[in-house]
Structure 1
């Protein structure tokens, strides 16, 4: 039997990465997913949840600091991410990017709460214990069987997601992997335990939304060579697809725009099967990023605007952009009642990363102005629980408001994002041949993406494990586990080669298999009920 070697610094573990016993605190239940970094397991914390929360009352300014929202969710079920690679020294784990991110970014209600990080005393592997929500946004959309969100719920989901992104950017990081699978979600009533327990500022939120998976997050000052294989392909920005040597926070804004369009339409906007097709999908929607060589009075600025670096980057990869007019924003967002959201999506999906708005600027656009500012008043200041209780009781307090944001784009257009002058980038409706109408839907049947006849419509709630976990043996990892979920940390895509499309694999493309278990959930909280489907 292989014997694990003992690290030389075992007697002096890192300050924020203590050496602890995994088995004495956690009981494994099921494997949620596997990736190149490690595995994620659903486990039961063996003691009261307050013991887990109080460990890091002194960690304010990090994701380890327990927020008051976390104290409402008293479920003993947590997710633990275990790093596969074992490092020679315990202090080597301090340099893991995700560890640095967790210790650098302040806790926020729109980010998955981290409960603790530790190194186990048997195999000396890194473990990250975190909040476990019921399902991800991709699963929720799919289980609704094309019944789209109401306008208030759509705005609530996107506002919370934007708050999470804005918070990460505030600390000069960017996420690099924003996609529906990394957006965890739970009904507000279930998160707070009852309707009476929902705080006033959450009354308009039917769902609690949290951005997850910080494994690819990177600081803006990191000047090391960047990899082109970050971000899931469908949400990958042009600067990554075209192998620009550096990129930063604008790639999160692009991904946010793509996700927003997907949530609004219930269909992915750019579902490329490989990187070459991904670029072509973007071209078909946004039009060519190249400025035309000859002036034409009838020429309309394409939806995605222009990007002066695109031609050179494409040339370096051995291809030339064809002439493509793209679509209008009305052809991308079909609901005429979402005009303000359409403006947001268009501003995010610009070819030139320097012309995309910052997260702060997006939050100030008309669609988000009221909803995000309402959340910010409570979220950005990390209101202590006594202040929160005082507010509920009518006792005045003055927590103050912090709004110290900086922008890193000096060469942006002088047009103000969201203002009428920005509409210069909005193509007018032009006459197109009938075979170009709604071309975004002509390549494949998008209804199969979210409309699965085998789906049960049940949410994947964890609460059933609380009563049953003592009877459950740890999962063996097979596909017949009691709980099989496409979780946020599952299956990072394999590296791809732009010249070898066959090597570009995307686990999510297999839509014939439902991510919703055939067996009803323990709580029997059905998404098909009128109360939930009308949200």
Structure 2
């Protein structure tokens, strides 16, 4: 103990006193708990429940046991230092906690309790005085002097925990109980955090049961038959009380908070949710970041980025030569084209009458195929573009009119060609001989006129003359 310097006393209890000390080597503040009982062997010290449990429990919301020292038959526990407990924190408040602070405190209590239960222990003395804190941001469960292993065999003592936070099965002096008694105490602590007043401040065990009945109502025999058996064993008569709504007692609590407290404060221990189940209640799923300050800092810290990989030095690229395009042959001069004349619309013959139909989109024609003959009467009246001889365009509104229009234009083309042919034949000599049938030797070509000999010589200018 000469490595620690005592500063002041933090508290005094039934089993020991707590002294604030400083480590002379590191300068760290610690809380040293000195046991009033004397221990004469290390084996006796190691068999203590507090030592057994704290050796196995290492959690952010469970007080950390740094060292165990036995000196002059006195036993000392060296704990990490916490500024205050939850009872002192509530006592110093002048106004109620905001629900966000209550939610964060309850989240840390249930996190630590779930860890304790998971590792086979239950606390048996959950109360605000045994919840050490550094402000409302950090809460840790302490004082495992009454802790027991869940797998240990009953009977247990019926006098455990402070009376205001004692479960009804313990108040009725049951010797068979387990971790649900911690869940009941957590429900009482949660209600006290909202109101800063204890929920069941009974002056005795019977008075505490009466106060529980005034809030929760008298339990029915079908809801908790074991409780009625315990009451019969100790000759206790249940008071007939009507339940009081938790909403009226805790008006600052939300609907989700009332639901969690109501489930934690069930008469039947089997109906109370475990600590791990309580953490999944909607009360904690509101988007608020919960946990210890270190956990909040880790959650808000951005993920580390991988270091950039060194890039290999760039290799010099050889100069790229552009391919020389092959020489292009000279293009012949393009003839000068006169600008195109505007299109003129052909007027249909006066004897054709086209019904005025509303134009429909072409997509309507492709919905189903049209069978010839059978569907002729169901052909939609649609305008079709018609390209004529000189690029002229008109609109036709009916299938029958389309056929007549095409025949009319064809007749006009024949008449136009006959007129052009007659005018050309009259302007050229010997043109009628060009219309004779082609010879067998030169199929598809017109024969040349016969060559006339002139005085025994061939008239080559007539044979190979220009046309």
TM-score, structure 1 normalization: 0.54
Secondary structure at the aligned position of 1:207 is classed as coil
Number of the residue aligned with 2:156 = 226
Do the aligned partners of residues 375 and 207 (structure 1) sit closer, same or farther apart at CA in structure 2, a change above 3 Å counting?
Answer: closer
Out of 267, 288, 293, the residue aligned to residue 351 of structure 1 is: 267
C-alpha distance after superposition, 1:373-425 (max 9, x if no partner): 9649x97xxxxx9xx699656247xxxxxxxxxxxxxxxxxxxxxxxxxxxxx
Partner of 1:119: 70
Judged with a 3 Å threshold, the aligned counterparts in structure 2 of structure 1 residues 395 and 119 are, in CA distance, closer, same or farther, namely farther
Query: Which residue in 1 is equivalent to 2:107?
Result: 159
* Moved >3 Å (runs of 4+): 369-376, 388-393
Distance 2:118 2:267 in 1: 23
Q: Deviations over 1:76-104 (max 9, x none)?
A: 22111122222332221111110100112
Compared CA separation, residues 180 and 390, structure 1 to 2 (3 A): closer
* Number of the residue aligned with 1:247: 177
- Structure 2 gaps of 5+ residues are 307-467
Give 3-state SS (helix, strand or coil) of 2:236's partner.
Answer: coil
Query: Does the C-alpha gap of structure 1 residues 86 and 224 become closer, same or farther in structure 2, counting only changes over 3 Å?
Result: farther
1:129-528 aligned at under 5 Å gives the runs: 129-145=78-94, 147-187=95-135, 207-291=137-221, 306-335=223-252, 338-369=254-285, 375=291, 394-395=304-305
1:9-24 alignment to 2 at 5 Å?
22=1, 24=2
Q: Is the 8 A contact 1:112 1:210 kept in 2?
A: yes
Mapped contact 2:210–2:239 kept (Cα < 8 A): no
Deviation string for 1:313-349 (max 9, x for gaps)? 11211221122222123223212x5110110000000
Distance across 2 between alignment mates of 1:241 and 1:258: 15
1:27-106 correspondence runs (5 A): 27-48=5-26, 76-105=28-57
Shift of 1:216: 1.2
Q: Secondary structure at the match of 2:21?
A: strand
Q: Distance in 2 between matches of 1:217 and 1:326?
A: 33
State the Cα deviation string for residues 209-251 of structure 1 (Å, max 9, x = none).
1121111111101114311111111000011101112111101
Q: Is the 8 A contact 2:167 2:184 kept in 1?
A: yes
3-state DSSP class of the match of 2:134?
strand
Structure 1 residue 127, shift from structure 2 partner: 1.2
SS of 1:214's equivalent in the other structure is: coil
Cα distance in structure 2, aligned partners of 1:109 and 1:172: 18
**CA–CA distance in 2 between the matches of 1:307 and 1:129?**
44
Q: 1:216 to 1:395 in 2, by over 3 A?
A: farther
The answer as to whether partners of 2:132 and 2:142 remain within 8 angstroms in 1 is: yes
Paired with 1:85 and 1:139, the residues of 2 have a C-alpha distance of 27
Greater Cα shift, 267-276 or 316-325:
316-325
What value does the CA root-mean-square deviation take over the aligned residues?
2.6
In structure 2, relative to structure 1, the CA distance for the partners of 1:284 and 1:81 (3 Å cut) is same
Q: Which string of whole-angstrom CA distances, capped at 9 and with x for unpartnered residues, describes residues 146-166 of structure 1? A: x01112112111111111111
Determine the C-alpha separation between the residues in 2 that align with 1:215 and 1:132: 18
Q: Gaps spanning 5+ residues in structure 1: where?
A: 1-21, 50-75, 188-205, 293-305, 380-384, 397-535
Q: Provide the rounded CA distance (Å) in 1 between the counterparts of 2:247 and 2:300.
A: 47
Partner Cα separation in structure 2 for residue 186 and residue 41 of structure 1: 17
Question: In 2, distance between residues paired with 1:389 and 1:163?
Answer: 17
Note if contact 2:120-2:149 (Cα within 8 Å) is conserved in structure 1.
Answer: yes
Which deviates more, 178-187 or 250-259? 178-187
Which residue number in structure 2 is paired with residue 109 of structure 1? 60
User: Is the Cα–Cα contact under 8 Å of residues 119 and 126 in structure 1 kept in the other structure?
Assistant: yes
- Scaled by the length of structure 2, the TM-score of the pair is 0.61
Give the match's secondary structure for 1:357: coil
- What's the counterpart of residue 60 of structure 1? none
Q: Which fold has the larger relative contact order, with Cα–Cα distance below 8 Å and residues 6 or more apart in sequence?
A: 1
The offset of 1:35, in angstroms, is 2.3
Structure with greater Cα Rg: 2
Distance 1:213 1:32 in 2: 14
Equivalents in 2 of 1:369, 1:98: separation in Å?
A: 34
